[in-house]
Each structure stands twice: as structure tokens, then as C-alpha cells.
């Protein structure tokens, strides 16, 4: 994998700005005042040990979990606590840590669902419904076909999604996010469970999505080789706090980060020991 293809100008407009985000679940403070900025055209890595609050942060940004305090701005507009579909309509698409594909439906139909933010239900009752529907359908199909080609999913487009291997299912989910033509794409562990070759595929698609579509990307990823090769910048969370940020190598190599991961490993050993 090559280094980043393009450095993001430090004065590029801010796509996503999170200020002092707090989120609790009962007595657990999952996010303790997390702030981060993502510039337009940037690929920002969000890393940290398990349970550090990465997915919660994504859920706050996408409106699934309104924050208990703090502010989220998207392209300069306050979107804090807007409903998920409103945030999606403003150009945010995501993939899920645990795949959220529809079993029993084909690859193609799963991808088509990603177009729903662009469809206009109000027009359903229109007099010229069929004429309109046909034209709408064609326009959607064109975007979808384009993405299917881009993601190299032509050969399996008609397969039921549950019969294809996990690596390809992850790719279908990414395709579904891309057909929404997002301005901000959020990927929650898109390479989990993948082999080296599949990981490199996804890394390539992520870089190409930024290059060809100018999309800004927030990516949660555990594979540090991938993070250092495709991210412009990295933010590291531990127990709901930012413990390091900056250029990938430096941010990840920070002593606080090294000890956070060592702590995670020790906790896992301890758990395994007490389970035995």
C-alpha cells in the first residue's frame, strides 16, 4: 500500500467538528468531553482499545445516540441531536461494526437501499406517478451501477447477500454507503475479519473514494498498518477521552497510547485467567 496520495491542506474547510462530546449509559461515562475536527477531503482514523468509545462517537455524530452534552457541526451547521435520517439527508453515510445487511435480499437490492435518502416519497401520489417512477428509478440505477463497477461487485450482484463471504459482504456495505453519494463517509471497522488481500482491497477503495468522489472519511480501524498507510491524521481514544492525536505514526506511537493498549492486553489476560 502506498502512502497517502494527497495531503489535505491545513486550511481546508472543516467537514465535521465535534466539541466536548459527552455521552453516558446509566452510570457509565462512555465519552468524557471528546473533541475532534475532520477537514474536507481528509481521511481521519479513530482508534483506541475496545470499549474506548469509538462506536459511541459514530452513533453520536450520526444521530443514533444524542450526546448528553457537547456540539456536533457538519459543514458549518449545528446537527447536534438531529434524527438519523435528517443527518443522512445532509450527506452522512456509514457502515456498521456488525454488518447490517438484509438477509434474503440480493446484493443489488441491498445496495439500492442506500439510495433511499435521495428518493422523494412525497411524489408518490403524483398524477404522473409511473412516468416519474420510471425516470427516478433510472437515475438511481445509474448511480448504483457506477458504484457496483467501482467496487467490483458485478459478478455477485444477483446473489443473496448471506451466501457470499464476509469480506465481500463488507464490500457490499461500503457500496451501499457510497450510493448515497455522501460528503462524509463513516466506516466502523470495515476490515474486521478480513485477510490481507481483502484489507488491501478495502484500503484501495477508501483512497479511491476520496480521490474520485472528494468524500471526507472517518474510519475506525484496528489494523495499525492500514491506519498509518491511508489516514492523514489519527485521533486516539481511551476510556472515552482523547489521549493522543496527530500524524498517524506519532499519534499511535505516543507512550499513553502504547500503555492503553498494553493495559487492554493485560485486562484480557486477567479475564482469561479468571475464566479458567
Residue 131, contacted partner among ligand ADP, Mg ion, none, CB below 5-8 A by kind: none
Pairing type for strands 216-220 and 43-47 reads: parallel
Q: Should residue 228 be labelled a site residue for Mg ion when binding is judged by CB under 5 A?
A: no
Strands of the sheet with 241-246, listed across from one edge: 92-95, 184-188, 216-220, 43-47, 233-238, 241-246
Tell which positions 83-102 bind Mg ion, by CB under 5 A: 97
DSSP symbols for 227-266? HHHH-SEEEEEETTEEEEEESHHHHHHSHHHHHHHHHHHH
Secondary structure (3-state) at 5:
coil
Residue (58 or 72) nearer to Mg ion, CB: 58
For residues 17 and 24, which CB has a smaller minimum distance to ligand ADP in the complex? 24
Closer residue to Mg ion, CB minimum distance, 42 or 188 = 188
CA distance 39 to 12: 6
**Nearer residue to ligand ADP within complex by CB, 29 or 157:** 29
- Residue 189 C-beta: closest distance to ligand ADP, Å: 8
56 binds, among ligand ADP, Mg ion, none (CB under 5 to 8 A by kind): ligand ADP
253 contact partners, CB below 8 Å, separation of at least 6: none
55 counts as binding Mg ion under rule CB under 5 A: yes
Which of ligand ADP, Mg ion, none has residue 245 at its interface (CB below 5 to 8 Å by kind)?
A: none
Q: Which residues bind ligand ADP (CB under 6 A)?
A: 25, 28, 30, 48, 50-56
Closest approach of ligand ADP to the CB of residue 248, in Å? 18
* DSSP-assigned letter for residue 268: H
C-alpha cell at 205: 477503495
Joined grid coordinates for residue 122: 412525497
Minimum gap (Å) between residue 10 Cβ and Mg ion: 29
Residue 57 CB, nearest approach to ligand ADP (Å): 7
Q: Which residue has the cell 409511473?
A: 130
Interface with Mg ion (CB under 5 A): 54-55, 97
Amino acid at each position: 500500500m502506498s502512502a497517502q496520495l494527497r495531503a489535505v491542506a491545513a486550511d481546508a474547510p472543516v467537514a465535521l467538528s465535534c466539541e466536548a462530546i459527552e455521552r453516558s449509559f446509566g452510570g457509565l461515562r462512555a465519552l468524557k468531553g471528546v473533541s475532534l475536527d475532520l477537514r474536507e477531503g481528509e481521511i481521519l482514523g479513530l482508534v483506541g482499545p475496545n470499549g474506548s468509545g469509538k462506536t459511541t462517537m459514530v452513533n453520536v455524530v450520526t444521530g443514533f445516540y444524542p450526546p448528553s452534552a457537547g456540539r456536533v457541526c457538519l459543514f458549518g451547521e449545528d446537527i447536534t441531536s438531529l434524527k438519523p435520517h435528517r443527518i443522512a439527508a445532509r450527506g452522512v453515510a456509514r457502515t456498521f461494526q456488525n454488518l447490517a445487511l438484509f438477509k434474503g435480499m440480493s446484493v443489488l437490492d441491498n445496495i439500492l437501499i442506500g439510495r433511499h435518502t435521495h428518493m422523494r416519497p412525497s411524489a408518490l401520489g403524483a398524477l404522473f406517478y409511473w412516468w416519474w417512477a420510471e425516470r427516478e428509478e433510472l437515475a438511481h440505477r445509474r448511480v448504483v451501477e457506477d458504484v457496483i463497477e467501482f467496487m467490483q461487485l458485478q459478478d455477485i450482484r444477483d446473489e443473496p447477500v448471506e451466501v457470499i463471504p464476509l469480506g465481500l459482504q463488507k464490500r457490499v456495505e461500503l457500496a451501499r454507503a457510497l450510493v448515497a453519494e455522501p460528503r462524509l463517509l463513516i466506516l466502523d471497522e470495515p476490515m474486521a475479519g478480513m485477510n490481507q488481500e481483502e484489507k488491501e482491497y478495502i484500503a484501495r477503495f477508501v483512497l479511491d473514494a476520496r480521490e474520485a468522489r472528494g468524500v471526507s472519511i472517518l474510519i475506525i480501524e484496528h489494523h495499525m498498518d492500514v491506519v498509518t498507510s491511508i489516514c492523514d491524521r489519527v485521533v486516539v481514544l481511551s476510556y472515552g477521552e482523547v489521549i493522543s492525536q496527530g500524524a498517524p505514526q506519532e499519534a499511535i506511537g505516543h507512550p499513553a497510547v502504547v500503555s492503553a493498549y498494553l493495559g487492554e492486553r493485560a485486562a484480557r489476560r486477567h479475564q482469561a485467567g479468571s475464566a479458567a
